Structure 1
Amino acid sequence: MGKIAWVFPGQGSQAVGMGVDLAEHPVAKARFAEAEAILGWSILEKCQGDEATLSRTLYTQPCLYVLEAILCDRYREKAPQVDFMAGHSLGEYSALYAAGVYDFAAGLQLVQKRAQLMDQASGGKMAALMKFDRTELMEKIAATEGVTLANDNSEQQVVISGTPEAVDAIMNGVKTKRAIALNVSGAFHSPFMAEAAAQFEAVLAAVEFSDAKIPVLSNVDPQPETQAAALKERLKAQMTGSVRWLEIMQQLSALEVAEAVEIGPGKVLTGLIKRTCKDMATANIDTLASIG
């Protein structure tokens, strides 16, 4: 059997109604109760509420982490083989949980604080760009002060982040098939998150990390890693660093991964993998029914 990677989606994959099928599952119910005790609000209520509330960073990130952790644990019972873990932005926290770096509660407490800090960020702008001349785009970013490549998702799909003026300059100055401003409060995954990252670092320092049982490819460094200290350093850099998803996919190919399983709502990551790693099989675990 070929090598298998589990990948976990981040913010943007949420959808109203996600996780509802887990409501009566006994193990999931216990997790939801544990999450509510930590957060002070109900995951399932937010997932069944209005889209605007669910899409708010403060709620989106904990909801995704909890659902991904539950699905991961259920899927592991049926398909225990996994050779590598990776997650996109928020999904890296789920990947670290799945790799045994920390327990469910510790991960959720980190995600809660991260979500609070990112929700409070203001003054920045992010935009997604599709279909462009990559050389032209990178040269323009390098020449424009106040903007950075936040998410390098694929050869033809990126997210830029920075000041509104700098982001607008890229959107207006580079020919793209599509350029969309994102509905977020701040310039995530950029140096403009330095203050939030500094506050988060104190919270991160208090959480004990264990060595990963499965190698994790991190957003800021796509090389497989199991050492606890290195994984913590990578996570510390994540809030201000770029999500190097294109490199993660290329690395999974180089590691001879035959199948990538996306665990969580939506099909964003499997879509990117299908276009980038054409020989890699994909699967989606987004409901209990999909586990079989």
Structure 2
Amino acid sequence: MGKSLYDENSLAKDLFEQANGILGFRITDLMFAGTDDDLKQTKVTQPAVFLHSVILALTQGDAFRPDMTAGHSLGEFSALVAARALSFEDGLTLVSKRAQAMQKACEKTPSTMAAIIGLADEQAEQICAEITDEVVVCANYNCPGQIVISGTLAGVDAACEKMKAAGAKRALKLKVGGAFHSPLMEPARAELAEAIESTHFNQPVCPVYQNVDARPQTDPDAIRRNLIAQLTSPVRWTQTVRNMAADGATHFTELGPGNVLQGLIKKIESAVAVDGLQ
């Protein structure tokens, strides 16, 4: 993960080594040669994905001139660094603190998430609202017909059964450590808010479409507020991609490991071009 970047690009090597110093451990050793269990550690997973995505952007030089940026959940931090709203150092520091705060919140309340396939967003929202004795909410609007719910173990189980009865093709529990983008992340939001409030944000070089409202932002104060709200609010990816396309985006490039976002974008806006850098 990112090894060819490190080996072939001097700027990438410098940035990776800088990251090792900021984090206080050699994350490059784990990214390049770690086991699956190594990479699944909370303190590793989020910074690793962030580093791969951001360093890809920063090493493109003049070729990287986006008209707009966006990121899915953790990827919003990468999008903010790519748009120069956050420095590389501050972005990595916040991502590391975010990962640690989320881990603490996960340990406080046993919770989980589930992917719901083949159900309208409105139906999923209604079913979640009907479950009043447990916490369960719609957390990720990934693409039409694919939504992720998040909440307590009992809340997600109950919602999955109701959604299958309502016609969902699948209700698949995810292998995650907690209920991300739900009210159960409030302890993490409060902890991260303090770090975000004390971090300097620049005006980005292009609009950044944020998860909370799927709208373009260039105002540093608004970006900060939205980023604080992100942990307990849903990721509105479907709406984000639609708004970007409505505002003129015709070509999307995914930067980072995998190609999941490329697939989602094509399901949301089939007419746009998509590609990726890994």
TM-score by length of 1: 0.88
Please, which of 69, 73, 86 is the counterpart of residue 89 of structure 1? 73
Aligned to 2:129: 142
Matches within 5 A, 1:99-178: 99-120=83-104, 121-122=106-107, 123-145=110-132, 146-175=135-164, 176-178=168-170
Give the superposed CA RMSD.
1.3
Aligned to 2:256: 264
Please, which of 222, 233, 247 is the counterpart of residue 230 of structure 1? 222
Relative to structure 1, the CA distance from residue 204 to residue 133 in structure 2 (aligned partners, 3 Å threshold; closer, same or farther) is: closer
- C-alpha distance in structure 2 between counterparts of 1:43 and 1:81, whole Å: 28
Q: Aligned-pair distance for 1:177?
A: 2.1
If each structure's helix is expressed as a fraction of its own residues, which one has the higher value? Answer: 2
Aligned to 1:12: none
Mapped contact 2:163–2:171 kept (Cα < 8 A): no
Mapped contact 1:32–1:42 kept (Cα < 8 A): no
Mapped contact 1:128–1:179 kept (Cα < 8 A): yes
Please, which of 38, 44, 54 is the counterpart of residue 39 of structure 2? 54
Alignment-mate amino acid for residue 194 of structure 1 = E
Between 1 and 2, higher relative CO (CA 8 Å, sep ≥ 6) is seen in: 1
Aligned to 2:59: 74
Relative to structure 1, the CA distance from residue 256 to residue 103 in structure 2 (aligned partners, 3 Å threshold; closer, same or farther) is: same
Aligned to 1:195: 187
Tell me whether 1:26 sits opposite 2:13 in the alignment: no
Alignment-mate amino acid for residue 147 of structure 1 = V
Unaligned runs of 5+ in 2: none
- C-alpha distance in structure 2 between counterparts of 1:87 and 1:237, whole Å: 15
Q: Aligned-pair distance for 1:111?
A: 0.4
Aligned to 1:10: none
TM-score by length of 2: 0.93
Aligned to 2:246: 254
Helix, strand or coil: the match of 1:116? helix
- C-alpha distance in structure 1 between counterparts of 2:222 and 2:157, whole Å: 36
Percent identity between matched residues is 38
Q: Aligned-pair distance for 1:56?
A: 2.8
- May I ask how many residue pairs the two structures share in their alignment? 268
Alignment-mate amino acid for residue 4 of structure 2 = D
Unaligned runs of 5+ in 1: 1-17, 287-292
Q: Aligned-pair distance for 1:138?
A: 2.3
Aligned to 1:9: none
Mapped contact 1:56–1:119 kept (Cα < 8 A): no
- C-alpha distance in structure 2 between counterparts of 1:277 and 1:20, whole Å: 33
Tell me whether 1:65 sits opposite 2:50 in the alignment: yes
- C-alpha distance in structure 2 between counterparts of 1:198 and 1:138, whole Å: 25
Q: Aligned-pair distance for 1:256?
A: 1.9
- C-alpha distance in structure 1 between counterparts of 2:190 and 2:111, whole Å: 18
Mapped contact 2:139–2:147 kept (Cα < 8 A): yes
Mapped contact 2:57–2:64 kept (Cα < 8 A): no
